[in-house]
Chains A and B, each alone.
Chain A
Amino acid sequence: MAEDVPASDTDSTLDIGRLARGLAPALLTVAAAVYSLMAVCGADSATATNAQWGTVAARVREARTPEELIVFAPSWIDPVGRQHLGDQMSIAMAARMDSARYAGIWEIGLEDERAPETRGLKSDTSFTAGPLTVRHYVQTPAEVTYDFTSEWRAGKASGPMQGRPNLSFEEVGFEPHQCIKVVPRPGQTAIVTFSQIPLGSKIVGFVGLADIFTRRDVREPGRLTLLVDGELRTTVTSGIDSGWKRFEAPTTPGIHDVEFHLTAVGAGARDRRICFAAEARK
């Protein structure tokens, strides 16, 4: 340790700059310690209690109509949100393609957190319970002329693939999704054809690679190509980190043939589980 500086040897004129420089590191450390202590002491008050969740659940249950979507923000509070409101949520709702079909959305957020589903929307009702903020949103729901996913049995499969296409409940990008799963042979393309489909002004869909372990072990992407009446409308490539990737293509209203071409890109693309969901919308 450094020796004391004898008072008699020092200049008694106060040098603020020197004093500040001498104290600054210690004060910074003490401030960090105090901040840290405050964070620990305040940890409980920053989280919602069971009673606050109970209040939220009761009020949402009372006001919500069965067709309305429930979302949580940030996404990591989803399990505790489902604990309190999961009885109001179906698997189909949790595994939805997107939120466009819902006319009403209930968002339960921690502090000011917002869910991606409500981006750009204005809430018409809101209330708080502790750190939880509940907001209700109304949007014009997408009108679906044909749901390829729920009508998956109508699709005719061709091309080299493992098994047959089927409706599957899968983890895609760490999210739950109900989708049509197709596993083309490595480097090959499988085709799912829907004939004489009533289309609106666009086809909206999502595609991704299912199963974390095959995504880890097989790094090659999958590709979806959409054709309407044999004409290329869009191509979307989904890599191992792409998650649930949106695609959209304009269509002419009327009856048309729609083909989804699914390709396991590359000779090493074994067990490439390509999952997609799509809707024809007005």
Chain B
Amino acid sequence: MSEAWQNRLIAVLLFVFASGLVISAQRDQGIARDEVVYMNYGTRYADWWIDFATGESGATHKDTITKHFGGERPTDGNREHPPLMKTLFGLSERLLHDELGWTSETTGYRVPTALVNGLLVCLVFLFVLGIWGRTAAISSALLVLFLPRAFFHAGLASFDAPVVTFWFASLFAYYRALQSRWGFLWLGLCAGLTLATKHNAIMLPAVFLPHYAYFVWNQRPEKGTRLRRLYVGFRLARPQVLLGLFVVAPLVLIAVWPWLWFDTMTHLREWIGFHLGHVHYNFEYLGTNWNAPPFPWHVALVTTLFTMPLATLVAALIGFVMIVRRFRNGERNEGSPALLLFLSAGVAMGPFLLRTTPIFGAEKHWASAIPSLCIFAGLGLVWMADLARNSLIVAKPKWHRGLLRYAPIGLLLSTAIGAAWSETHHAHPYSLTHYNALAGGAPGGASLGMNRQFWGYSARGVLPFINEFQGRDVSVPVYTHDASPAWGRYRAEGLLRDGLPNSGHEMAGIRKSKIAFVVHEKHFARHDFMVWEAYKKVQPSFVLLYDGVPIVSVYVRDELLDK
């Protein structure tokens, strides 16, 4: 088999492995609060696209589109988020669950994210392969897959994993567009799909424009006036790249978002305006509950430091230092891919250094930095192995050549990737509570006052305990706290027995309930206190733990316990 075919085979295997692993693993993950919203709207959007594709009359009428995709208020039709992934969630569920019966409803909705994450692993492999070789490519791809938090997000019907993929695909397409005449169309498509996935995409020009300026600067001829040289440099630097970014990409966004098919500028302004004025949710960081700016400037850096696998982090730092040293030594790659990756990570994290950007989603908000960090790590591993091997050859020339060639890279890859895998495996399915060894694991994270979790997804872990109370009374209403949006879905999935209805919100819901659970986050402490007051006791009957750290407490009324 030729090398090219081997590489294609590896790319396909990586895609299948990554996607399959996530699809299989997500079955243990609880349903996140926002997922339920995206699933519901996904079904609605998918219905519209099916009507549209089958020529249903009136599908393109303004009122029909508004009914499916928009409305008067800023969150009507979930129009604050672009529709690409939601549409795919809906279509996937329709096909895999409704039509084929291959998956559960929830898995049906989640499959597109898993596939798109598999695509990321595959794209990272292909990008690195073309520049730095196969070993670095495989290492980088596997390190992208084995990240506890990213792996978790890859198993949800939400946008945080997909936007990383499309962001990186845009990087890849831009890099290729610098070398090919028609590459700008791919760039436009990828950047457009990124825009259609999540609003982070509006920052993409901040990655490309400085890089493009540098590229133009490097393309300029040596002779001529300064202006003439720049002009020639610009002409040589395939200026159609800008066309792809600023013309094709917005057209792709509009094409996949019917809500933009009329009153386009108004709807665009409202979409971006919603996020510029986004409410600041509560979020614990280093012992303080943050809900208003100015936020600490180091949130993105420290959180990344504590949530990435430690060996990946160390390899990334060393890889980055090596890249800088090689650059200073005059080593250059065509198109400056390392600079592109650095800008990508910087732009993804940059807004969080400003101290005004909301921080409530932690690592998922700057997750587009992840591929860059993992590629630096993959490169670092290979270069460290080279350095170690060359040093050993010089020091021990009589040692077996095969041993010297393969032992350093084998040891480095197996330990670093093995450690990343073991952390990811261990953290699942409560990855948002997981912190790396540098933080002292989950208990260390709790002691440091890092955020315990969000979205209420861990409630799934207490369902078996709650199910035990079915039938102890005619009805056993449950105060479901942050998991209330997911309650119906748990029942539909067969994870929750009948006769355990959601009792309602806040104190009224707690008073009506016979079982109450509280998902632990610092700002949710008041829910514990409300339950104490209503149940006249402070003792939970069950506490769900991750590595000894409480994540959900379940209270049961004494009269129900006595039955």
The residues of A with any CB-CB pair to B shorter than 8 Å are 1-2, 4-5, 7-8, 10-12, 14-15, 18-19, 21-23, 25-26, 28-30, 32-41, 43-44, 46-48, 74, 76-80, 82-83, 85-87, 89-91, 94-95, 110, 169-171, 174-176, 211-212, 216, 219, 241
Residues of chain B with a CB closer than 8 A to A18's CB: 391, 394-395
Q: How far is it, in angstroms, between the C-alpha of A11 and the C-alpha of B440 when the chains are bound?
A: 45
Residues of chain B with a CB closer than 8 A to A1's CB: 133, 135, 382, 386
| Interface flag for B415 (CB, 8 Å) | yes
Q: How far is it, in angstroms, between the C-alpha of A30 and the C-alpha of B413 when the chains are bound?
A: 9
Which of B14-22, B122-130, B226-234, B537-545 interfaces with chain A? B537-545
* 25 A–B pairs (Cβ distance < 8 Å), ordered by A: A2-B386, A2-B387, A10-B393, A19-B395, A22-B390, A23-B388, A23-B391, A23-B392, A25-B318, A28-B318, A32-B314, A33-B311, A37-B419, A40-B426, A43-B442, A43-B547, A46-B443, A46-B548, A47-B548, A78-B550, A79-B520, A79-B543, A87-B539, A110-B548, A171-B525
Are B547 and A46 in contact, with the CB atoms below 8 A? yes
Q: How far is it, in angstroms, between the C-alpha of A91 and the C-alpha of B549 when the chains are bound?
A: 23
Q: Answer whether A43 and B532 are a contact pair too, CB < 8 Å, given A79-B550, A80-B545, A216-B292.
A: no
Q: How far is it, in angstroms, between the C-alpha of A16 and the C-alpha of B525 when the chains are bound?
A: 57
Residues of chain A with a CB closer than 8 A to B291's CB: 212, 216
Q: How far is it, in angstroms, between the C-alpha of A19 and the C-alpha of B541 when the chains are bound?
A: 59
Q: How far is it, in angstroms, between the C-alpha of A41 and the C-alpha of B389 when the chains are bound?
A: 30
Q: Which residue from A10, A23, A46, A94 sits with its C-beta under 8 Å from B441?
A: A46
Are A91 and B533 in contact, with the CB atoms below 8 A? yes
| Interface flag for B192 (CB, 8 Å) | no
For B539, the closest partner residue in chain A by CB is: A86
Are A33 and B419 in contact, with the CB atoms below 8 A? yes
List B516-555 residues whose CB lies under 8 Å from chain A: 520, 522-523, 525-526, 528-529, 532-533, 536-543, 545, 547-550, 553
Q: How far is it, in angstroms, between the C-alpha of A36 and the C-alpha of B542 when the chains are bound?
A: 30
What is the CB-to-nearest-CB distance from B285 to chain A, in angstroms, rounded to a whole number?
Answer: 13
Q: Which residue from A21, A26, A170 sits with its C-beta under 8 Å from B408?
A: A26
For A50, the closest partner residue in chain B by CB is: B545
Listed residue (A11, A36, A47) with the most chain B CB atoms within 10 angstroms of its CB: A36
For B391, the closest partner residue in chain A by CB is: A22
Residues of chain B with a CB closer than 8 A to A22's CB: 387-388, 390-392, 394
Residues of chain B with a CB closer than 8 A to A19's CB: 391-392, 394-395
Are B394 and A40 in contact, with the CB atoms below 8 A? no
Are A5 and B394 in contact, with the CB atoms below 8 A? yes
Are A21 and B391 in contact, with the CB atoms below 8 A? yes
Q: How far is it, in angstroms, between the C-alpha of A83 and the C-alpha of B520 when the chains are bound?
A: 14
Q: Which residue from A29, A35, A169, A219 sits with its C-beta under 8 Å from B381?
A: A29
Q: How far is it, in angstroms, between the C-alpha of A89 and the C-alpha of B532 when the chains are bound?
A: 11
Residues of chain A with a CB closer than 8 A to B288's CB: 241
Residues of chain B with a CB closer than 8 A to A46's CB: 441, 443, 547-548
Are A2 and B390 in contact, with the CB atoms below 8 A? yes
Q: Which residue from B310, B441, B536 sits with its C-beta under 8 Å from A91?
A: B536
Extra pairs beyond A4-B393, A87-B539, A176-B525 (12, CB < 8 Å): A8-B397, A23-B388, A23-B392, A26-B408, A28-B314, A30-B416, A32-B311, A39-B437, A43-B426, A43-B442, A46-B547, A176-B532
The residues of B with any CB-CB pair to A shorter than 8 Å are 133, 135, 280, 282, 288-289, 291-292, 309-311, 313-315, 318, 380-382, 384-395, 397-398, 401, 405, 408, 411-412, 415-416, 418-419, 422-423, 426, 436-437, 440-443, 446-447, 520, 522-523, 525-526, 528-529, 532-533, 536-543, 545, 547-550, 553
What is the CB-to-nearest-CB distance from A273 to chain B, in angstroms, rounded to a whole number?
Answer: 12
Q: How far is it, in angstroms, between the C-alpha of A75 and the C-alpha of B401 when the chains are bound?
A: 56
For A23, the closest partner residue in chain B by CB is: B388
Q: How far is it, in angstroms, between the C-alpha of A30 and the C-alpha of B388 when the chains are bound?
A: 12
Q: How far is it, in angstroms, between the C-alpha of A257 and the C-alpha of B538 when the chains are bound?
A: 36
Are B426 and A11 in contact, with the CB atoms below 8 A? no
Q: Answer whether A83 and B523 are a contact pair too, CB < 8 Å, given A29-B314, A216-B280.
A: no
Are A216 and B282 in contact, with the CB atoms below 8 A? yes
Pairs of residues from A and B, 4 with the lowest C-beta to C-beta distance, nearest first: A22-B391, A86-B539, A47-B548, A7-B397
For A2, the closest partner residue in chain B by CB is: B386
What is the CB-to-nearest-CB distance from A41 to chain B, in angstroms, rounded to a whole number?
Answer: 8
What is the CB-to-nearest-CB distance from B521 to chain A, in angstroms, rounded to a whole number?
Answer: 10
Are B526 and A171 in contact, with the CB atoms below 8 A? yes
Q: Answer whether A86 and B537 are a contact pair too, CB < 8 Å, given A15-B394, A33-B419, A174-B525.
A: yes
Are A29 and B315 in contact, with the CB atoms below 8 A? yes
Residues of chain A with a CB closer than 8 A to B523's CB: 174, 212
What is the CB-to-nearest-CB distance from B115 to chain A, in angstroms, rounded to a whole number?
Answer: 28
Are A76 and B550 in contact, with the CB atoms below 8 A? yes
Are A86 and B133 in contact, with the CB atoms below 8 A? no
What is the CB-to-nearest-CB distance from A161 to chain B, in angstroms, rounded to a whole number?
Answer: 22
Listed residue (B395, B408, B447) with the most chain A CB atoms within 10 angstroms of its CB: B395
Residues of chain B with a CB closer than 8 A to A37's CB: 415, 418-419, 422
Q: Which residue from A10, A14, A35, A174 sits with its C-beta under 8 Å from B437?
A: A35
Q: How far is it, in angstroms, between the C-alpha of A212 and the C-alpha of B289 when the chains are bound?
A: 9
Q: How far is it, in angstroms, between the C-alpha of A48 and the C-alpha of B543 when the chains are bound?
A: 13
What is the CB-to-nearest-CB distance from A103 to chain B, in angstroms, rounded to a whole number?
Answer: 21
Are B390 and A36 in contact, with the CB atoms below 8 A? no
Q: Answer whether A94 and B548 are a contact pair too, CB < 8 Å, given A36-B419, A82-B540.
A: no
Residues of chain A with a CB closer than 8 A to B310's CB: 32-33, 35-36
Q: Answer whether A26 and B419 are a contact pair too, CB < 8 Å, given A1-B133, A1-B135, A5-B394.
A: no
Q: Answer whether A12 and B397 are a contact pair too, CB < 8 Å, given A22-B387, A32-B313, A241-B288.
A: yes
